[in-house]
Amino acid sequence: MAEVLALALPFFGVIFLGLGCGRLARIPESGLAWLSFFIVYVALPALFFSLVARTPFHELTNGTFIAATTLTTAACFALSLLVGLWLRRGNLPEATIAAILGSYSNVGYMGPGLTLGALGAAASVPTALIFVFDSLFFFTIVPVLMAVSGRDRHSLGATLLLVVRRVVTHPFNVATFLGVAAAFFEFHPPAAVEKTLEFLRNAAAPCALFTLGVSVALRPMERMQGEVPWLLAIKLVVHPALVWLVLTSVGGFEPVWIATAVLMASLPPALNAFIMAKQYETYVAGASGGVLIGTVVSVATVTAMLYAVQHDMLPYGLN
C-alpha cells in the first residue's frame, strides 16, 4: 500500500497544492495564460511526440484496441447524454456538456504521468492511442451536437469544417502525428534535441497538475446539479468497468494495455468539460462543480484502481 500511496499522492498532492494556492493567492486568472500555453503548446506535445516516436510502428496501428476503447468512451457519452436529457428536461446543449462530465477522462493532464508512473514505458502506446482517439471523438461530437441544437451560430457544414481544422491543428494531435512519422521512418532526434525534449516532458505533468488545481479552484460552484452524482458514477465506476469488460471479452491484448486503458478510464472528468461549457455559454456551473467534485472523489477511486493494478488484482481475461 505504501508503494501505491507513494505513486498516487504526488499526483493528487500537486493538484491540491494548486487548489490551495488558487483559493488563497490573490492572483487573477489571467496569470495562468502563459503557463497554460506552455503546457498545451510546448510541454505536453513534447511528451506525446517522445512517447510515440520511441514506439515500434506496428504497435501504433492496433485498430482493434482503438475501436474498443473509443467505442466504450462513446457508449459512456451516450449513456451520460441520456441522463442529461432526462434530468435537464430535454435541453440538448446542457445535456451535451453533462455528457462530457460522464465520459471524458482527464487523459491530457493526468493520464500520461499516472500510467507511465504506474506501468512504465510499456504503457506509452496505449496511453497515446487513447488520448488521440478519445480527443478526436469529443472534438467532433460536441460541436456537431451544438450545431444540431442551434447553440452554435455556424451551419452544420461550417461546423464540420471547423472540426476538421481543429483536429488537424491541435498541438497534441500534431505532436502525435509527427511521432507516428518518426516511428515509421525510425527517426531519432540529435542528442541536443532529445535532451531538450526530455526537459520539456519532465515539466509536463507537474505543470499540468498544478494548473488543473488552480483552474478548478477559480471556478465558481454555487450548488451541485442533481445529475452530477449520476454522471460521476458513470465516469468513475461504469467507464473503467466497461473498458475492462470490452477488452477482456475481445481478448488478444497485453495485460499492460488493459491496465492502461482501465486506469485512463478511471480518471476524473477532464477540465475540457468546463472549457467547452464556457465556449458555448451553457451548463457552466454544472461543469465546474462536476470537475471539482470528480477530482476530489477520484482520489479514492483512482488510488483503489492503482492498488488493484500494482497487486495484480485486475483480471486480464474472462476465462
Residue 315 domain-assigned?
no
Residue 54 domain-assigned?
yes
Per-residue pLDDT band for 73 (boundaries 50, 70, 90) equals: very high
pLDDT of residue 262: 95
Per-residue pLDDT band for 155 (boundaries 50, 70, 90) equals: low
Residue 319 domain-assigned?
no
Per-residue pLDDT band for 1 (boundaries 50, 70, 90) equals: low
Residue 239 sits in which domain range? 2-21+32-310
- The string of pLDDT tens digits covering residues 188-221 is 889 999 999 999 988 877 887 788 788 778 766 6
Rounded alpha-carbon distances, angstroms, from residue 221 to 87, 268, 293? 19, 17, 10
pLDDT of residue 148: 76
pLDDT of residue 11: 76
Residue 318 domain-assigned?
no
Residue 317 domain-assigned?
no
Number of domains in the chain: 1
- The string of pLDDT tens digits covering residues 276-294 is 887 778 887 788 788 888 8
Residue 98 domain-assigned?
yes
Residue 316 domain-assigned?
no
Average pLDDT of the chain?
84
Q: CB–CB of 171/41 below 8 Å? A: yes
Q: Calculate mean pLDDT across residues 116-136.
A: 85
CATH of the domain at 278: 1.20.1530
Residue 212 domain-assigned?
yes
| Among 32, 25, 33, 44, CA closest to 111 | 44
Burial of 92 (0-12, 13-18, 19+ CB in 10 A): middle
Long-range CB pairs of 141-145 (<8 Å, 24+ gap) are: 141/74, 141/77, 142/96, 142/100, 142/276, 145/92, 145/93, 145/96
